[in-house]
């Protein structure tokens, strides 16, 4: 079982990512934010007004100290207290309004981004999913999007609000006593330099920890889905050690991240505190010398203390912004992948309309000079398929036979465009499949694979995924064809939940449900990749008898390894060396092809060694 994941480009855990402006990364969120911009743009001035109300409190204190307190006027003190209470309530209320303005819209933004990511993943080719670990995709759809929502809800607003508050506050300080104001402004220069240095260091560590979290998610997922293998081979200790090693790696990186944040926060808090202390000493001397009123000093210090949070939060907000920028980069690494969109466009205007009649020359399923090479294969490696030419006539069943590793599964994956041919073309009733919208193509072609995939749904829902609009009568017919009557004996019949990956069922039961899903929609073309391999001899015979009726009304390509499956076909194609080397009936190939006779005898070891 894999304990590490592979990621494309520069995403190895702990590796420094390519430098990119955090601002430029975050600006890519604008298309998602634009629909809710009115409420977000309203929330910013509301928060600014609330923050500025806090700056008005020191002015009220100055009036109270120099006025009612100095004059010993109790009425004035009560009035000042009432004004302070009103300012505090108004400030709290406005911040509550800001939260109300952003909460629902940003939850919608997160949901839309997650839905968009899921839709995009469904459109990406299998080669993408072969390269990317599922845990990396899961972490992008969960943790990264949560970070983006948090950034849009808090740091995005308060970077602006706190910036305006600091500027307004320093203007107020300088207007009250410019000499004391300069004492507080001095730390601004080293703070800017420190924050710039922090931003560069923190972005690297933030990216590393998010990638490592994706690796950890992959290991957890593999451990859960492969728990039977782990337990069966007694590998729980080694898996636990591998998980612990990754966990310690994440812990180490998180500690580096926390150390950086602690260092910048300590400096951001220390420098302003030292400046406030110096201003307090200088102001006290000025009050003693009669150069400054006590009320002005109180107001000055109150304003400085009010500005502590906007200044000290700078490190926290920058850290969250860097986390969000990294999450944005990770999100768009997936969204920037180009889906296999060729063929989703309609045919060009004026293009000749290909006739749909099922004549023997143009109808059926045809492979014309098809070549296939995996995108990540070495340049000098031979293609998996080389010049495949094959014609399956309308209504005909063609068995595809070949040694292990000869490319049978790859060839079947080309028909529904799960993979794209490197060269050549494939036609259905004379129509190039790349000219068909994918929805139409996959309504015409149904597939069932040797390794059946079931979802966390009921048995009936898993079968009905095979066709839009299929009803209960179609479901019962498909279950009968696939000899899946065991469904009716489940605790709730076809409404029984089969669990994740259908692991509550046996391999043969899962395979029969997958076959039922393939035939439920009465498809025009049927592609079966050894769909009976997990069945016992008796059940296989029953399924084959029922399947003959379905194959009589469709055009089918069936990967076969056993003579019993081959006998379902009208003709047999032998795939060898990436090419179709022989086509004929079962009896003809037994007579004319030594390789075919060897495969049917069950001894393909020599052939397999020859291909390796």
Q: Which of 296, 318, 335 is the last residue of a domain?
A: 335
pLDDT value of position 263: 81
Please tell me whether residues 317 and 440 are part of one structural domain: no
Answer yes or no: do 149 and 288 share one domain: yes
Residue-by-residue DSSP string for 139-151: HIIIIIHHHHHHH
Do 293 and 435 share a structural domain?
Answer: no
- pLDDT of residue 349 exceeding 50, the answer is no
Beta bridge partners of 398: 557, 571
DSSP string, 301-343: HHHHHHTHHHHHHHHHHHHHHHHHHHHHHHHHHHHTSPP--TT
Radius of gyration of the chain (CA): 35
Residues 487 and 569 in one domain: yes
* Pair (93, 168) in one structural domain: yes
Same domain? 316 vs 457: no
**Residues 164, 355: Cα–Cα separation, whole Å:** 69
SS3 563: helix
Instruction: Report the residue count for the chain.
Output: 612
501 in a structural domain: yes
Do 519 and 536 touch, CB atoms closer than 8 A?
A: no
Q: How high is the pLDDT of residue 343?
A: 43
Q: Evaluate whether residue 161 is within a structural domain.
A: yes
382 part of a folded domain: no
- pLDDT higher than 90, residue 366: yes
Residue-wise pLDDT tens digits, 223-272: 776 666 666 666 777 778 888 888 888 888 888 888 887 887 777 778 77
Question: How buried is residue 38: exposed, middle or buried, by Cβ count under 10 Å (0-12/13-18/19+)?
Answer: exposed
| Residue 10 pLDDT level (bands cut at 50, 70, 90) | very low
Which is it for strands 571-576 and 525-529: parallel, antiparallel or unpaired? unpaired
- pLDDT tens readout for residues 386-407: 989 999 999 999 999 988 888 8
178: in domain: yes
Residue 451 lies inside a defined structural domain of this protein: yes
pLDDT for the residue numbered 362? 57
* Range with the poorest average pLDDT among 42-56, 280-294, 587-601: 280-294
C-alpha–C-alpha distance, residues 330 and 143, integer Å: 11
**Is the same domain home to 299 and 438?**
no
Average pLDDT on 93-117 reads 88
**Does residue 97 share a domain with residue 214?**
yes
Range of the domain at 31: 22-335
Number of domains in the chain: 2
Per-residue confidence (pLDDT) for residue 321, from 0 to 100: 85
Percent of the chain with pLDDT over 70: 88
């Amino acid at each position: 079982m894999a304990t590490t994941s592979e990621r494309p480009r520069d995403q190895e855990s702990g590796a420094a990512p390519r430098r990119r402006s955090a601002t430029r990364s975050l600006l890519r969120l604008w298309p998602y934010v634009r629909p809710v911009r009115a409420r977000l743009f309203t929330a910013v001035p509301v928060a600014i007004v609330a923050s500025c109300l806090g700056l008005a409190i020191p002015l009220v204190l100055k009036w109270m100290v120099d006025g009612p307190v100095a004059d010993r006027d109790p009425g004035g003190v009560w009035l000042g207290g009432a004004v302070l209470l009103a300012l505090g309530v108004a400030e709290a209320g406005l911040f509550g309004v800001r939260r109300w303005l952003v909460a629902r819209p940003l939850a919608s933004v997160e949901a839309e981004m997650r839905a968009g990511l899921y839709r995009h993943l469904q459109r990406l080719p299998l080669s993408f999913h072969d390269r990317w670990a599922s845990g990396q995709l899961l972490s992008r759809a969960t943790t990264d999007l949560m970070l983006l929502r948090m950034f849009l809800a808090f740091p995005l607003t308060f970077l602006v609000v706190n910036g305006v508050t600091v500027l307004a506050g320093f203007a107020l300080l300088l207007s009250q006593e410019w000499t004391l104001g300069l004492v507080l402004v001095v730390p601004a220069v080293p703070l800017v330099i420190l924050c710039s240095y922090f931003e560069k260091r923190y972005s690297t560590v933030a990216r590393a920890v998010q990638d490592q979290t994706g690796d950890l998610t992959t290991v957890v997922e593999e451990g859960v889905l492969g728990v039977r293998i782990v337990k069966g081979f007694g590998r729980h200790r080694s898996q636990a050690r591998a998980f612990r090693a990754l966990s310690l790696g994440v812990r180490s990186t998180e500690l580096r991240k926390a150390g950086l944040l602690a260092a910048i926060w300590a400096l951001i808090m220390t420098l302003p505190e030292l400046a406030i202390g110096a201003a307090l000493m200088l102001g006290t001397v000025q009050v003693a010398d009669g150069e400054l009123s006590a009320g002005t000093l109180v107001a000055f210090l109150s304003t400085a203390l009010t500005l502590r949070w906007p200044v000290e939060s700078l490190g926290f907000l920058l850290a969250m912004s860097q986390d969000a920028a990294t999450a944005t980069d990770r999100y768009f690494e997936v969204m920037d992948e180009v889906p296999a969109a060729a063929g989703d466009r309609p045919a060009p205007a004026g293009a000749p309309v290909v006739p749909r009649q099922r004549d023997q020359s143009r109808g059926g399923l045809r492979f014309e000079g098809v070549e296939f090479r995996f995108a990540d294969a070495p340049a000098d490696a031979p293609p998996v398929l080389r010049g495949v030419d094959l014609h399956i006539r309308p209504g005909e069943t063609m068995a595809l036979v070949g040694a292990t590793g000869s490319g049978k599964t790859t060839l079947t994956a080309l028909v529904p465009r799960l993979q794209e041919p490197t060269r050549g073309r494939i036609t259905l009733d004379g129509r190039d499949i790349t000219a068909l919208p994918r929805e139409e193509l996959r309504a015409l072609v149904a597939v069932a694979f040797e390794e059946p995939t079931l979802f966390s749904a009921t048995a009936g829902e898993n079968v009905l995924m095979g066709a839009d609009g299929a009803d209960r009568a179609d479901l019962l017919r498909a279950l009968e064809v696939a000899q899946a009557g065991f469904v009716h004996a489940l605790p709730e019949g076809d409404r029984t939940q089969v669990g994740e990956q259908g692991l509550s069922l046996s391999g043969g039961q899962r395979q029969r449900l997958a076959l039922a899903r393939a035939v439920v929609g009465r498809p025009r073309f049927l592609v079966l990749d050894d769909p009976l391999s997990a069945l016992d001899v008796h059940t296989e015979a029953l399924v084959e008898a029922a399947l003959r009726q379905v194959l009589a009304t469709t055009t089918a390509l069936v990967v076969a390894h056993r003579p019993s499956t081959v006998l379902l076909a009208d003709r047999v194609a032998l795939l060898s060396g990436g090419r179709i080397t022989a086509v004929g009936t079962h009896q003809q190939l037994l007579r004319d092809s030594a390789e075919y006779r060897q495969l049917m005898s069950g001894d393909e070891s020599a052939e397999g060694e020859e291909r390796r």
